[in-house]
Structure 1
Amino acid sequence: MTTTAQPYREVTDSNGRIYRVGESDVDIMGRKRRWMVILPWIGMMAISSAEYAFASAEDTLHEAHHWDSLHIFWLLGVWVFFQAAVAFPVGKLRESGKLPARWAMILGALGTLLGYLSLAYAPHVVVAYIGFGMFSGMGAGAVYATCVNMVGKWYPERKGGKTGFVNGGFAYGSVPFVFIFTGYMDLTNFRWVLVSVGLFLALTVAVVGYFFQDPPKNWWPEEVDPLQPPADRRARRALAMNPPAVRQYTPKEAWQTGRVALMWFCLLCTSGVNIFGIAFQVDIGKEAGFAGGIVATAMSLKAIVNGTGRGVIGWLSDLFGRKRCLIFVCIVLGLSQYGILWAATEKHLVFFLIFSSISGFGGGAIFPMFAAMTADYFGENNNASNYGLVYSSKLVSGLLGSGMGAVVVANWGHAGAFTLAGSISLFAAFVALFLSQPGRGKGASLDPLDQSLTRA
């Protein structure tokens, strides 16, 4: 009787963390792991228009359905609420094996289609709250949770740049739809446009999701020895600046460290400011007297820089550390709100476009920082549910940024609202100073990995 040798082995570092080594990406899924960056990136682009292009459809929806403008802003807030609400339960189901990645994507595709159908045909705004706000939001949340967290599993040794790249699709994928909703869609064709967009995006999500596959628990790429400094300079630098978690934390254990609460609050502040900017930049631009095409251009620039900024900051965080980059983007996001207000008040078009772009960079870059930092702090095995805990702050920030943002604008005007938004983001930068990796004292190093990397 013969036994088949295991194609992998498990090794343990000095902290007791287990690594599964010896299997290549091709051994596991029959293709290179870069596909688990490209396909999630496409999936993220397909769900981005519901958040980043929605404000561009406001005028047409208002005229077509006679919905109050406040209802439309609250629709976006409800969408963000449900998008964030499903992150943790989807993460738990994914990690338990009860919800395979491809089925999570199919559910996301159905939610996307229902959302656009409800915007096209809703006989009452309540139907839009259910179809777009709830079902489309939940579908997008399933896609988001699946795509973002899969990247860190396949690239545990240098997840920052890859996570940022995939996360970026959630912003600049909306760019063509900003122009479609602003410059092409009107009362004569809005139903045809919305249904066509919904069908196209839902099909895209379902097709790319069909090819999704997770690596085994504790998997580590065969070309990188987890107990020795990597030969690849990029991986060596990334691990030196962002050492792996000392062990795999469950959501309960991660919460008990206190870091999740800090990250939750920082993301609450910054994502609220980001959503506020998405919802009200069109309004303040119109108030300043800028033409509709200029406002659409500003929103497109914001979305493009928002998306590309996520990839850039992810790459920079591999070089300089996640925490430093997080503090930097919080400051950038805060100061840019003051800049947008100043440019609109002075009716300075060039600076309005510049500060809109800078705001897009800051608002987008926060998300890959928290996604990668969650894996750095608590490990990859439970990253979907752990990041779901952190990301759940959008349950509140979506409602505050869009719905309550409308209330603040109504009472304080754009000047008071944008000033408050900038101050909130700067406060988040201060709070981020207190973040540190659990299980490592200040100045502590990995043994033997980090000591060798620090000397390199």
Structure 2
Amino acid sequence: MSTENERSATGSVAYREVTDSKGRVYRVGETDRDLLGRSRKFMVYLPWVAMMAISVSEYAYGSAEDTLSDAHGWTQSNTFWILSVWVFFQAGIAFPAGWMREKGILTARRAMFLGAALCLVGFVALAHLDDVFLAICGFGVIGGLGSGLIYATCINMVGKWFPERRGAKTGFVNGGFAYGSLPFIFIFNYAFDTGNFDEVLDLIGVYVLIAVLICGWFFRDPPKNWWPSEIDPLSFAGNTKSARSLAKNPPAVKQFTPKEAVRSGMLPLMWITVVMTAGVSIFGISFQVDFAKEVGFGPLVAASSMGVMAVVNGVGRAVVGWLSDLWGRKLTLFFVIVVLGLAQFGVIWAGDLHSEWLFLFFAFLSGFGGGAFYPMFAAMTPDYFGENYNATNYGLVYSGKLVSGLFGGGLGSMVVDAWGYNGAYALAGGVSMAAAALALLLRQPGRPRRLDIAPNPMPVSREVV
């Protein structure tokens, strides 16, 4: 029975719900302009801008560490642990934030506003608090929570508005979280010193606040089970690009609750893979500039290597997101993690040869692999478990990064002290290769292996009230 007449009578746009042969419900009939008043592309560009704004907190931090240590009287280990705590809380807030959003406690707009305010507090604390414990509480805890709220909200927003082609869109938005830091990397290397560090950090905090507030004002989630009207959810007929992507990455067989996703075994496997891969990525972000200086490369090469890593890290996320729509998420994820592992061994080789150009090349590869896996997990989570509980399910998967932050930054510094940079980078490469092997075990719950990269069989449609 159709609900079209009933919905029209209330003044809302007519829609109907269709159910496929596996019981999955799709809400069709409402266009993005009906719901938003504008194209859903705005739900790509606005999260992208917000992600670029908060990228300075993680990807430019390594370039600011020396000045922060001198200005506040901190040790190198102190500054690494501040970043590690930031990563812990940035990733840790994803699950509770997702739960609050799905329970209606926290809207997308409020999450963005709250996150913007917390980020400002974090930068002010980093600028004005000499006590390392207070700096950890201010930037690491409060700033990390703010960035995490913004990050999780932006990623989930894209996945909900583009259920049929989320790889490229998620990758594009996720990329902003890396290359958005590029101007700040060079600022921290060339125009950031003990005489102006506090003013610079205060201004950055205000910049993040304003950018995120403006973007967040327009955030709005689609209705549950919403599906774009131009794509037939039963046959995948319609837009050619979307049809190709759905053939390689079919929709989840149903909407998995977090408990069901955990019981499937796939969400815990994703979590472990994130822990390992993100740990290697964070290690590279934290130590690449210092390793370059240790080897004897000049400040330009050190800054450029981090700049190259940030740009390729971000652009790679967009490229790999697009590629996953063609290859499939699993194969693309495996490829990315292997590249990340090989790059760690390449950095050692370049350092031993004292080759600046070779070092920049492997910084390129490390940046590519160290960022591109994030949009893969962001796209795979709703691919495997559906969109309705994606904020919570992805929050669980992404929470693996909170463990990664500990051994990628803080514990990584201990490994460097004990084994030197070569030993630490070799360990990172080995961890990445093990993660690639685990990625091969991933499969979509409820779908036979032979159909992992095939479209759904033609389902029977029924309309429900």
Category of TM-score, reference length = shorter chain: over 0.9
- Identify which of 105, 114, 117 aligns with 2:112: 105
Does structure 2 retain, via aligned residues, the 8 Å contact 1:229–1:449?
A: no
Does 2:392 correspond to 1:385?
yes
Does 2:1 correspond to 1:7?
no
| 1:293-332 pair list within 5 angstroms | 293-332=300-339
Q: Within 1, Cα distance between the matches of 2:354 and 2:118?
A: 40
Alignment-derived partner of residue 404 in structure 2: 397
Equivalent position amino acid for 1:187 in 2:
T
Alignment-derived partner of residue 352 in structure 2: 345
Alignment-derived partner of residue 382 in structure 2: 375
Structure 1 portions without partners, runs of 5+:
451-456
- Identify which of 86, 90, 100 aligns with 1:93: 100
Q: Within 1, Cα distance between the matches of 2:360 and 2:456?
A: 48
Other structure's SS at 2:234 match: coil
Q: Within 2, Cα distance between the matches of 1:229 and 1:45?
A: 33
Alignment-derived partner of residue 120 in structure 1: 127
Q: Deviation at 1:188? A: 1.1
| 1:404-443 pair list within 5 angstroms | 404-443=411-450
| Number of aligned residues | 449
Alignment-derived partner of residue 457 in structure 2: 448
Other structure's SS at 2:27 match: strand
Other structure's SS at 1:443 match: helix
Alignment-derived partner of residue 16 in structure 1: 23
Does structure 1 retain, via aligned residues, the 8 Å contact 2:344–2:425?
A: yes
Equivalent position amino acid for 2:217 in 1:
Y
Does structure 2 retain, via aligned residues, the 8 Å contact 1:44–1:147?
A: yes
Q: Deviation at 1:230? A: 2.2
Other structure's SS at 2:238 match: coil
Alignment-derived partner of residue 454 in structure 1: none
Does 2:183 correspond to 1:169?
no
| 1:35-74 pair list within 5 angstroms | 35-74=42-81
Other structure's SS at 1:290 match: coil
Equivalent position amino acid for 1:289 in 2:
G
- Identify which of 215, 231, 247 aligns with 1:224: 231
Equivalent position amino acid for 1:136 in 2:
G
Other structure's SS at 1:10 match: strand
Does 2:186 correspond to 1:186?
no
Equivalent position amino acid for 1:413 in 2:
G
Alignment-derived partner of residue 148 in structure 1: 155
Residues 324-352 of structure 1 deviation map (CA, whole Å, 9 limit, x = unaligned): 00000010000000001110121100010
- Identify which of 277, 280, 284 aligns with 1:273: 280
Structure 2 portions without partners, runs of 5+:
460-465
Q: Within 2, Cα distance between the matches of 1:58 and 1:254?
A: 39
- RMSD over aligned CA atoms reads 1.1
Q: Deviation at 1:446? A: 4.7
Q: Deviation at 1:449? A: 4.7
Equivalent position amino acid for 1:102 in 2:
R
Q: Within 2, Cα distance between the matches of 1:245 and 1:41?
A: 25
Does structure 1 retain, via aligned residues, the 8 Å contact 2:230–2:239?
A: no
Does 2:254 correspond to 1:247?
yes
Does structure 1 retain, via aligned residues, the 8 Å contact 2:73–2:130?
A: no
Q: Within 2, Cα distance between the matches of 1:447 and 1:238?
A: 12
Q: Deviation at 1:229? A: 2.7
Does structure 1 retain, via aligned residues, the 8 Å contact 2:246–2:455?
A: no
Other structure's SS at 2:106 match: coil
Q: Within 2, Cα distance between the matches of 1:385 and 1:345?
A: 45
Equivalent position amino acid for 2:347 in 1:
I
Equivalent position amino acid for 2:317 in 1:
R
Alignment-derived partner of residue 359 in structure 1: 366
Q: Deviation at 1:292? A: 1.0
Does structure 1 retain, via aligned residues, the 8 Å contact 2:250–2:456?
A: no
Point out the more displaced range, 123-132 or 319-328: 123-132
Alignment-derived partner of residue 453 in structure 1: none
- Per the normalisation by structure 1, the TM-score is 0.97
Does structure 2 retain, via aligned residues, the 8 Å contact 1:14–1:447?
A: no
Q: Within 1, Cα distance between the matches of 2:37 and 2:30?
A: 11
User: What fraction of aligned residue pairs are identical, expressed as a percent?
Assistant: 57
Does 2:50 correspond to 1:26?
no
| 1:71-82 pair list within 5 angstroms | 71-82=78-89
Other structure's SS at 1:19 match: strand
- Per the normalisation by structure 2, the TM-score is 0.95
